[in-house]
Amino acid sequence: MRRFDLAVIGAGPAGLFAAFYAGMRGLSVALVDALPEPGGQIAALYPEKLIRDVAGFGAIRGRELVRELLAQARPFAPGMFLGRQATQLDDLVGGRFRLGLADGTDLDAGAVVVTGGIGTFTPRKLPCGDAFQGRGLSYFVRDPSELAGKRILVVGGGDSAFDWADALQDNAEVTLVHRRGSFRAHQHTVDRVLSGAASVRINTEVEHLDGDARVRRAVLRDTVSNVRTELDCDHVVAALGFVASPGPLLRWGLEVRDHKIVVDQAMRTTRPGVFAAGDVCTHDGRVPLIAVGFGEAATAVNHAATWLDPGASLFPGHSTDGVPAAIEPAASSA
């Protein structure tokens, strides 16, 4: 078994920041994720989404945020175990853990920080869309440039639907339809779409998709008047949300509430030596923001450091007191 001070389970934003912060504390880190690339849900589903709640950035695209977080952690050379789901967590002698991965790999860790986000996730299906998935119907957009100049139908009324309508409306002909009369998305994004080039239809559902090799039109039904209309389209983005599951974590002897791991103010779970941060965890008053997850990751790592070494200080000092040379800003040429 490869031996690490800390195993971080989940390579989304909170996990990447935890790996960086653990490196700042001099801890060796194994970073584990079931997805084949780092970045978690953002990299897999929303690489082009503009994120506006990260301190220091008015807006930053998901792929750019992931790139910056990787660059921040890279100088500490965390061990990357991607495309391998963490399936089992056993106690070892001396208070350490054996973390078993789905491919048969075993890791030896002194402490564990779970940053698994929403867990494994699958998109909610558009009922009439099965025949066209991959043929003009998608549940997220990896490369918006491929849809430039096209007629795009976005289906949904939550954050995902409005994020994609906002991202696409300047370079494509976008129509957003939602089966209800109100939206669940962030008001700022709703306002941008409503005041932008996109067309928005409320109380409207997609009843049928038609086309030959690819989708070419949608039959829409007004849920109030029951009137049906046809809309020509080149691509449908069904942003109807996702069904998430924490997976094997439920079998690890942790207290779970509403599929979230319960933690205290130190981000400790009910299993000694195991901590959690980010959207995978819950505590009274928690707000599910990336910015909150970053703070929780730092808190979890600092408390994990004192678990590993009870004589260590909880507060490691300010980063400016001793920034590693690998991440020091370049000297000015002036």
Q: The sheet that has 281-282: what strands, in order across it?
A: 256-257, 260-262, 281-282
- Please, where are the H alpha helices in 186-289? 187-194
Distance separating alpha carbons of residues 197 and 93, to the nearest angstrom: 62
Q: Which amino acid is at 94?
A: G
121 is in an annotated binding site: yes
DSSP states along 33-88: ESSSSTTHHHHHH-TTPEE--STT-S-EEHHHHHHHHHHHHGGG-PEEEET--EEE
Cα angle 147, 148, 154 (rounded to 5 degrees) comes to: 50
DSSP class per residue in 90-123: EE-TTS-EEEEETTS-EEEEEEEEE--TT-EEEE
Is-contact 237 138, C-beta < 8 A?
Answer: yes
CA 146 to chain centre: 23
**33 annotated ligand-binding residue:** yes
Cα-based angle 268, 272, 274 (whole degrees, multiple of 5):
55
Task: Name, in order, each residue with C-beta under 8 angstroms of 149's C-beta and a sequence gap of 6 or more.
Answer: 171, 172
Q: Is 21 annotated among the ligand-binding residues? A: no
- Cα gap 280→300, rounded to integer Å: 13
Does 86 carry a binding-site annotation? yes
Known binding residues for FAD: 33, 41, 46, 86, 121, 279, 320
Known binding-site positions:
33, 41, 46, 86, 121, 279, 320
